Amino acid sequence: MKILVTGATGYIGGSVAAKLLAAGHRVVGLTRSDDGAAKLKALGIEPLVGSLISLDLLAVAARGVDAVINAANSDDPFAVEAILPALEGTGKSFIHTSGSSIIADRGAGNASDLVFHEDTPYRSLPERQGRLAVEQLVLSYGQRGVRTCVIRPTLIYGTGLGLHKKSIQVPRMLDLAISKGKALHIGAGENIWSNVHIDDVTDLYLLILEKAPPGSLFYAENGECSMRAVAQAISRLLGYGGKTESWPMAEALKEWGISAHATFASNSRVSALKARKMLDWQPKGVALLEDIEHGSYRESQSAAKA
Ligand SMILES: NC(=O)c1ccc[n+]([C@@H]2O[C@H](COP(=O)([O-])OP(=O)(O)OC[C@H]3O[C@@H](n4cnc5c(N)ncnc54)[C@H](OP(=O)(O)O)[C@@H]3O)[C@@H](O)[C@H]2O)c1
> Domain segments of the chain: what residues?
2-107+115-158+196-222+276-285
Asked if 105 contacts 112 with a C-beta cutoff of 8 angstroms, the reply is: yes
Q: Please check the confidence at residue 159 and state whether its pLDDT lies above 90.
A: yes
What pLDDT score does 32 carry?
Answer: 98
Three-state SS at 274: helix
Position 303 confidence tier, pLDDT thresholds 50, 70, 90: confident
Name which residue sits closest to atom 40 of ligand 1, judged by CA.
Answer: 31
**Which atom number of ligand 1 is nearest to the Cα of residue 52?**
32
C-beta of residue 162 within 8 angstroms of C-beta of residue 43? yes
Q: For residue 180, what pLDDT band results from cuts at 50, 70 and 90?
A: very high
pLDDT, tens digit (0-9, with 9 covering 90-100), for 53-110: 999 999 999 999 999 999 999 999 999 999 999 999 999 999 999 999 999 999 999 9
Is residue 246 over pLDDT 90?
yes
Q: For 6-53, write each residue's pLDDT tens digit.
A: 999 999 999 999 999 999 999 999 999 999 999 999 999 999 999 999
Alpha helices (runs of H) in the chain, residue ranges in sequence order: 11-22, 34-42, 55-63, 78-87, 129-140, 169-180, 198-211, 227-237, 249-256, 259, 273-279, 288-294, 296-305
Query: For all residues of the chain together, what is the average pLDDT?
Result: 97
Q: What is the pLDDT of residue 302?
A: 85
Residue 239's identity, in one-letter code, is G
* 33 Cβ below 6 A of ligand 1: yes
Cα 198 to ligand 1 centroid, rounded to whole Å = 14
* pLDDT (mean) for 121-144: 98
Q: Using most ligand atoms within 8 A of CB, pick from 6, 12, 166, 219 the residue to mutate for ligand 1.
A: 12
User: What was the pLDDT predicted at 75?
Assistant: 98
- Pocket of ligand 1 contains residue 168 by CB under 6 Å: yes
pLDDT, mean of residues 114-133: 98
Work out the angle between the directed axes of helices 129-140 and 78-87 (0-180°, nearest 10).
0
* pLDDT at position 247 over 90: yes
SS3 57: helix
pLDDT band for position 179 (cuts 50, 70, 90): very high
Q: Is 12 in the pocket of ligand 1 (CB under 6 A)?
A: yes
Is the separation of the CB atoms in 217 and 149 below 8 Å?
Answer: yes
Residue 304 has pLDDT above 90, yes or no: no
- Residue to substitute in 51, 127, 168, 200 for testing ligand 1 pocket (most ligand atoms within 8 angstroms of CB): 168
Q: Which candidate, 167, 140, 146, places its Cα nearest to that of 155?
A: 167
Give me the pLDDT at residue 66, please: 98
Q: Is the CB of 52 under 6 A from ligand 1?
A: yes
Residue bearing the CA closest to ligand 1, atom 9:
74
What's the pLDDT at 244?
98
Single-letter amino acid, residue 169 = Q
Task: Report helix, strand or coil for 151.
Answer: strand
Q: Specify the ligand 1 atom closest to the Cα of 13.
A: 16
Q: Which tens digits make up the pLDDT trace of 129-140?
A: 999 999 999 999
Instruction: Give the Å distance between the CA of 72 and the centre of ligand 1.
Output: 4
Q: If we measure between CA atoms, which residue out of 277, 278, 267, 283 comes closest to residue 108? A: 267
Give me the amino acid identity at 249: M
CATH number, span 2-107+115-158+196-222+276-285:
3.40.50.720
